[in-house]
Amino acid sequence: MVVGLVVLFFVGKYLFTDKNEKPDQAKIEEEKSEESSRRVAQLVHQACQYADSVGIDTTRYKLSADAAKNEEVLADVMMEARYGKKPSRTAFSGLKETVDSTWSAKAEPGSLASLATFTPYKQLVGHYNRIRKQGAGNPAFADSLRLIRQTLNFYRYVNRFDPDQFVLVNIPAGELNVFDRTGKRLLPMQVISGKPDKMTPCMTTYIQDIVMYPYWNVPKNIALEEMLPRMKRDLSYIYNQNLQILDEKEHEVDPEEIDWESLSETNFPYRVRQASGCENSLGLLKFNLANPLAIYLHDTNSRDLFTKTKDHWRSHGCVRVQKPVELANLVLGTNTFDAAFMNKCLIDQKPRTLPIPKKFPVFITYNIADVDASGKLHFYKDVYSLAK
């Protein structure tokens, strides 16, 4: 009898306690959920504040009553603040991204500023906020701010590839720089890129190898539109330009044996190649880039153009570099070429391909607003009329 009473006492106590604790437990869980939602909303606010300060349009990121969606918004803001968006003008993407997709779930907005270590980016952020403050409410500054935002996004986009060193060709600036991951300029130089009707395309790619004494395999459109009329008028043009006419089997054909009168833009069963040497249009060094657009970096046989003219947009699309020897040595990691290499004009040279230790990233971009080596802000000429 006593044992039964004891059992009933404890069973009753358990049932009474359980009924009273369940509502309390549900309330605790609800409060935890509300606190978590407030915390996420606060983090989104912090992330958007930082994103806005570095030129990101945060109007796309809005909070809702759905906590799960707010967590997605937080992740999206964090990822854009670190990795940017793919620039809209990118014609070819040949580099593999190394984005840490799990990072945003572990990081907090307070860590974003510490990740922005690239010096030109930090300098550009400073200019952006200075101009925004000075021009608050003034629509005259809107275009300048828009152009700076585009460049800031580009620099964030570079983070997707985490390169130790990389080549950056900025078309409007007429410049090439080799940067390290901190933004130090290891090798600045001038470049000549495509003219407005033969625009150099923007791309992410890499140097595959370097060719000494390259041939110039003349693009078909240049051969037909520019060279064929001259060759038909005067065969001496072929010899003066060191051109070779190749048939479909890649055999060289004697120009004297060709019936030039029968040839036209729609009937030209040949390929034109310029022999290697100091008079070759590609100069003595060619940097092959991985891309389907036949774009590469190269030396030039008209090196005086870098000093005699400010028109740095006059090629058919490829990029002529001012310091090919220095660039080759940096990419190869050894002093393969000395200063005298460019002045030696060795005859009867055949192209020789030099493998490089590893793929060397190359970014060809169109940044109208950017900073120079001293951190000064520049707005370069919109040579391709793309900023309108």
Distance CA 128, CA 379 (A): 13
Residue 270: which of 279, 281, 260, 283 has the closest Cα?
Answer: 260
Token pair listed for 78: 């964090």
Secondary structure class of 184 (helix, strand, coil): coil
To the query of whether residue 251 is one of the catalytic residues in this protein, the response is no
Secondary structure class of 21 (helix, strand, coil): helix
| Active-site entry in 298, 312, 316, 345 | 298
Where is 360: in which H helix or E strand? Answer: strand 352-365
To the query of whether residue 45 is one of the catalytic residues in this protein, the response is no
Secondary structure class of 160 (helix, strand, coil): coil
Q: Tell whether the torsion through CA atoms of 210, 213, 219 and 220 is positive or negative.
A: negative
Residue 185: which of 168, 203, 202 has the closest Cα?
Answer: 168
| Active-site entry in 127, 318, 345, 378 | 318
Those residues whose C-beta lies under 8 Å from the C-beta of residue 150, and which sit 6 or more positions away, are 87, 367, 368, 369
Distance CA 112, CA 321 (A): 36
| Active site amino acids | 298, 318
